Amino acid sequence: MRTHHERRVGHAFAENRKFYKLTPTSIGNINLDHLAGQQVGTSVLIKKIGHGAMSAVFLAFQKSLKRQIAVKILPKSLLTEKSATFFQQEAESAAILAHPNIIPIYEVGETEDFLFFTMQLVQGNPLSYYISQAQKNIVPSKRFLPLPTIISLMLKVLDALAYAHDNDIIHRDIKPDNVMIEHHSKRPLITDFGVARVSRTKSKTDRLLLGTPIYIAPEQILSGTVDGRADMYSAAVMMLEMLMGSLPYPPYKTAMDLLKMKLSLKDRIFQKRPSEVHPVANRALDEIVFDALAFEPDERYHSCRDFAKQLEHYQKQMLRPSPR
C-alpha cells in the first residue's frame, strides 16, 4: 500500500503528465530559421541561441538603443493554457523586478506567430558550467570552487531572492542552470522565472509539481503553498553542490525515487557534509548550510536575508587574520 506522501507525489506527477500531453510537440522539433531577420517589437531577430521545452531564445539587435539583446519566443503552435500561463508569469514576474542580480525584461508582446519578451543578453555561462569545469581539474584539491567565490556569489543570489520575495515573487526553480555568470564582471544573474508565482495570489499551477526534483524543497514536492523559504532551500542545495561538486544524495534511479526519499529521509537525505569534502569548509559552515536545508520550513532561517547574514558573519570570521 502506498503511503500518504507517495500518493501526493503520484498525484503531482499525474497533474504534470496532463500538462505535457496538451503540448503537441517540442520546440526542438520546430525549424525556426525563417524567423531570422523578422521584426519583433523594437528589435530584429538574428539567430536562435537556445531553447527549452516550449520556448526558444534568439539573439536580436535592438535598433532603438543599438545593442544586442535576447528575445524569448513561444510559438502559438505550442500554445496551451498552461504554457501561455507560464510564459506570461515569467515575463510579468521578472519585469516588475529591478535588481542587479536578476536579468531585466525590456519588452513584452506578440506577433501573428508567437508570444515574446525581450531581455538582457548575458555574455557568460550558467553556474552549472563552472561547477562541472572545476570537477575536471587534474588536481583533486582544486576540483571545488574557491570558498570566497562561493560565499560572494551566494550573498548576491540571496539578496536578489530576498528582493523578489519582498515583491511577493517566489521563483520556485532556483538551480545552477538558472544562475548566469557574466564573463567579465563574474556577476550572477538569476533567470528563468517561468514557474514563479506571486505569493499573495492563488493559481491553478499551485497544484502542479513545479521545479527541478534535485533542488526543490520538500513542501514543494507536496504541491502545497510555498513561500520564500522554498527558494532558500533550493539556493542552499545549490550552495551544497558548489561546495561538494556533486550532491550527496543516496543512490536513486528515477526522479520519483528521489522525491520519495526526500519525504521519507527528511533531514537525513544528505549523506555527507561540506567539511568532509571541500578542502577549506569547516563544521561551522556545515551548520549554516544545513539550517537552510531543514526539512520543515519553520526550522530554516526566517528569510533569505537571515541566511545571508549568517554567511556574512562566517565570511568575516574566515577572513579575520589568525593570531600569532
pLDDT digits (tens, 9 = 90+) for 30-61: 888 899 999 999 999 999 998 876 789 999 99
pLDDT band with cut points at 50, 70 and 90 for residue 89: confident
Q: What percent of the chain has pLDDT over 90?
A: 63
Confirm if 221 and 259 have CB atoms less than 8 A apart: yes
Angle at 23 between CA 106 and CA 175, to 5 degrees: 55
Q: What percent of the chain has pLDDT over 70?
A: 84
- CATH class given for the domain over 27-119: alpha beta
Q: Tell me, what DSSP letter sits at residue 102?
A: B
By three-state DSSP, how is residue 212 classified?
coil
Q: What's the N-to-C CA distance of the chain in angstroms? A: 63
Look at residue 3 in the predicted model and tell me its pLDDT: 53
Give the number of other Cβ atoms within 10 Å of residue 67's Cβ. Answer: 12
Q: Tell me, what DSSP letter sits at residue 34?
A: G
123-157 pLDDT, tens digit per residue, is 999 999 999 999 999 988 889 999 999 999 999 99
47, three cell numbers = 539567430
Calpha distance 306→324 (Å, rounded): 33
Q: CATH 1.10.510.10 spans which residues of the chain?
A: 124-319
Calpha distance 231→167 (Å, rounded): 14
Domain spanning 124-319: CATH 3.40.50.300: no
Confirm if 76 and 115 have CB atoms less than 8 A apart: yes
5, three cell numbers = 506522501
Nearest alpha carbon to residue 97 among 23, 154, 49, 169: 169
109-125 pLDDT, tens digit per residue, is 889 989 899 999 999 99
DSSP 109-161: EE-SSEEEEEEPPP-EEEHHHHHHHHHT-SSGGGSS--HHHHHHHHHHHHHHH
Length of the chain: 324
Across residues 70-85, what is the average pLDDT? 86
Of the candidate ranges 14-23, 83-92, 155-164, the one whose mean pLDDT is the lowest = 14-23
Angle at 247 between CA 241 and CA 249, to 5 degrees: 155
Q: CATH 3.30.200.20 spans which residues of the chain?
A: 27-119
By three-state DSSP, how is residue 195 classified?
coil
C-beta pairs of 52-60 under 8 Å, 24+ apart in sequence: 52/27, 52/194, 53/23, 53/26, 53/27, 54/23, 54/26, 54/27, 54/78, 54/83, 54/86, 54/87, 55/27, 55/87, 56/27, 56/32, 58/32, 59/121, 60/118
The answer to whether residue 206 scores a pLDDT higher than 60 is: no
Element (H, E) at 71: strand 67-75
Look at residue 23 in the predicted model and tell me its pLDDT: 44
